[in-house]
Structure 1
Amino acid sequence: MKVNSVAKNIGIPSRKVKLIVDMVRGKKVDRALDILKFVPTPAAKAVSKVIKSAAANAENNFEMTPADLVITDIFANEGQTIKRFRPQSRGRISPMLRRSTHITVFVSEEEHTRGS
């Protein structure tokens, strides 16, 4: 069974979050959190919060074992874009786009095979 968690409108552009998301896709939750602990970006902190939330949902709502959880699916989609304008020389203006991201994480229990 897949359990999910979503964080919407995180104030970091999705192209920066996707770099972090690709590092932890398919890994166990404990291992992914250890990796993200040593990545010095705000995106890593946001992704780790969503992973912790998904693990807590699995543990509390569906009684899954936290040690067996694996990140089956994780993606960062583009959120709302706030448009602002910045003054330039000669009386002109240029647009400034403040982009945001929706982060979605799916976790499930790891399949145990016989003999291992």
Structure 2
Amino acid sequence: MRKKRNKNLYGEVYALGQHISMSAHKARRVIDQIRGRSYEETLMILELMPYRACYPIFKLVYSAAANASHNMGFNEASLVISKAEVNEGTTMKKLKPRARGRSYAIKRPTCHIRIVLKDKSFYEEENFFCLKQSEWKKKKKYTDMTYHYMDKGGGLWDKK
């Protein structure tokens, strides 16, 4: 049974990197920082982060932007990372010879990374903007906090 391909009607462009030689957990640590950000801001963040996972993700974001400008004719300045997901790939297994004829298993994890870009100008008529999740929620500030002073009027230190 073949899977049906979804036709791209919503101005989305993606790049998929498969069998990247790192664990999915380490790649997710970087992906969570760039999800929802603009293309230019993402490139700056990935260049300055000190993790090994940044370079393959940088190449994927750059490739997705090249797909957007070449295939769809989008402007790179108006691109936003709408989806970024990391899935576990196959695990390469090797045996390392040890003393007395024994062997230890070496497991080398891989992951699949998918970066989806959207064009902000494509959605301006519908007032749809992809924002970082922290910008969606506005935190309430509590102004009616009560402070308990332990040295005045009771508390733990009054007891003998």
Q: TM-score, normalised by structure 2?
A: 0.66
Cα deviations across residues 52-75 of structure 1 (Å, max 9, x unaligned)?
Answer: 000110001000111000000001
Which of 29, 32, 48 aligns to 1:22? It is 32
Q: Within the alignment, does 1:104 sit opposite 2:124 as a pair?
A: no
How much does 1:89 deviate? 5.2
How much does 1:42 deviate? 2.0
Q: Equivalent residue of 2:118, what SS? A: strand
Find the counterpart in structure 2 of residue 72 from structure 1.
Answer: 82
Q: Which moved more, 1:75-84 or 1:45-54?
A: 75-84
Find the counterpart in structure 2 of residue 33 from structure 1.
Answer: 43
Which has more helix, going by share of residues?
1
Find the counterpart in structure 2 of residue 82 from structure 1.
Answer: 92
Give, as a single letter, the amino acid of the residue that structure 1 aligns with 2:92.
I
Aligned residues: 113
Q: TM-score, normalised by structure 1?
A: 0.90
How much does 1:99 deviate? 0.6
How much does 1:90 deviate? 5.3
Q: Equivalent residue of 2:108, what SS? A: strand
Give, as a single letter, the amino acid of the residue that structure 1 aligns with 2:91.
T
Find the counterpart in structure 2 of residue 57 from structure 1.
Answer: 67
Q: Within the alignment, does 1:44 sit opposite 2:54 as a pair?
A: yes
